[in-house]
Structure 1
């Protein structure tokens, strides 16, 4: 028997964000699913969100980031790194109590600094970096059309919680990663940023 649906907003609907939606829809289709996910998406680029919706990654789309996150349990940010700080500004007032923000941007240390300045104390930030399915790892494609339901399968999700994040939020992040098909693995944000910069 399922419980109330978990409401998810995906901000950024390139390959990663759209693949998150597809993986959640795959989970929704399981007969033994312990919960259901309701997924809304936003992307500022013309035509991208409708394309992700047409692929079946979302239940619906919205016109701005604030409306996407309002009242949602989980916010998955897959925006380009240069847009993450502005995204934090745009969503801050819409985050509900105990919302879990999963930040998949490439660098985590700056995100932690922006979180301290911009996001409300009642929300929880957990940095995540997908190390995707080996079959996709080196193909160099990042567009919506190449999203895949198995994009995270047999891969890892590097998990880097903000020190202020509640234990329940961190557990949600690891469970969420597993539902996508990835194995969660904890890493220090500075170590992750060093690997990205290398």
Structure 2
């Protein structure tokens, strides 16, 4: 038996999923599709795919699992394109950061017995620093030690959720189930707000007359603080993903602005004691978080058990899928 998995979008996430499953004992046929045929051929040479199919309709027609790893502003269009071709029981795993809206799109666009599950990964802590060589390249352990935020529309087949959970473990991460609204708020805090902060910081500095000289001195602090701007979620319509999650981001921006104002007040009044306490609290919070992040030590419960091959295939049979027998 072979599970046909089609990965749409061969960027860092899509390629890393393919690489992580390359030597997996489970029998998965990895099909790849990207808007750029040269990227498809590169993915084949890397060993991230078993086959590249450039026609999106053909690539998804017989897929048991479809991984959507496209920019946020291409998700709806991609769902619209592939929806008529999906066979009953197909599971779409969407890696984009927004949950509620994509869930709504899936409800409107997907035929019955086709299931969308949001499947957004956090990364291996070794890959979080932009200054580390190779941290930005696709790699099979990209998801090791991270979590996959898993959400789905109401009444999604339980086997589709278990399939997503099993795949998260196969990729080296742990499943984290969340309500779509909760997940959007969490992603806005740790993903969207850092991006907006980086944009604001970069704009505030580069618009100053002194930037011509300051740019020569910009070092590690500047690189790390502005790096999130290189990971915007849109390909063509910049800012679309920010607008789509605007309610959460407006609330967070108000809180962020209030915090900046608090620091400004300490500076203006030369309140050394309050400023020192403020900085100490922030340093302690980050230190604790980073230690936990490196260890992946979030819960006292044991890590999920890696599913057997039979269990993984059984999810698709429960959904009505019919994996193809190897010849």
Could you state the TM-score of these two structures normalised by the residue count of structure 1? 0.89
2:16 pairs with 8, 15, 19, which one? 19
Instruction: Report the CA distance between 1:106 and its aligned residue.
Output: 1.6
- In the alignment, which residue of structure 1 is the partner of 2:124? 133
Whole-angstrom CA distance in 2 between matches of 1:137 and 1:111: 26
- In the alignment, which residue of structure 2 is the partner of 1:176? 167
Whole-angstrom CA distance in 2 between matches of 1:137 and 1:99: 33
- In the alignment, which residue of structure 2 is the partner of 1:47? 38
1:62 lines up with 2:59 in the alignment: no
- Alignment check: 8 A CA contact 1:124 1:166 kept: yes
2:102 pairs with 69, 88, 111, which one? 111
More helix by share: 2
Runs of 4 or more off by more than 6 Å in structure 1? none
Residue aligned with 2:30, SS: strand
Whole-angstrom CA distance in 1 between matches of 2:155 and 2:123: 27
- Alignment check: 8 A CA contact 1:127 1:162 kept: no
Deviations 1:36-71 (A, max 9, x none): 100101010342111111110101111132211111
The 5-angstrom pairing of residues 82-121 of structure 1 reads 82-121=73-112
Deviations 1:75-114 (A, max 9, x none): 0100000000000011001111110110111211111111
Residue aligned with 1:185, SS: strand
Structure 2 stretches lacking a partner, 5+ long: 190-327
- Alignment check: 8 A CA contact 2:8 2:68 kept: yes
Whole-angstrom CA distance in 2 between matches of 1:126 and 1:140: 33
- In the alignment, which residue of structure 1 is the partner of 2:68? 77
Whole-angstrom CA distance in 2 between matches of 1:179 and 1:159: 15
- In the alignment, which residue of structure 2 is the partner of 1:154? 145
- In the alignment, which residue of structure 2 is the partner of 1:196? 187
Whole-angstrom CA distance in 2 between matches of 1:130 and 1:180: 10
Whole-angstrom CA distance in 2 between matches of 1:174 and 1:66: 27
Residue aligned with 1:135, SS: helix
- Alignment check: 8 A CA contact 2:99 2:180 kept: yes
Whole-angstrom CA distance in 2 between matches of 1:104 and 1:133: 16
For residues 129 and 166 of structure 1, do their structure 2 counterparts lie closer, same or farther at Cα, with a shift above 3 Å needed?
same
- In the alignment, which residue of structure 2 is the partner of 1:30? none
Structure 1 stretches lacking a partner, 5+ long: 28-32
Larger mean Cα displacement after TM superposition, 14-23 or 103-112: 103-112
Residue aligned with 1:72, SS: coil
Whole-angstrom CA distance in 2 between matches of 1:18 and 1:79: 12
- Alignment check: 8 A CA contact 1:44 1:64 kept: no
Equivalent residue pairs, number = 187
Alpha-carbon RMSD across the aligned residues, in angstroms, is: 1.8
1:185 lines up with 2:182 in the alignment: no
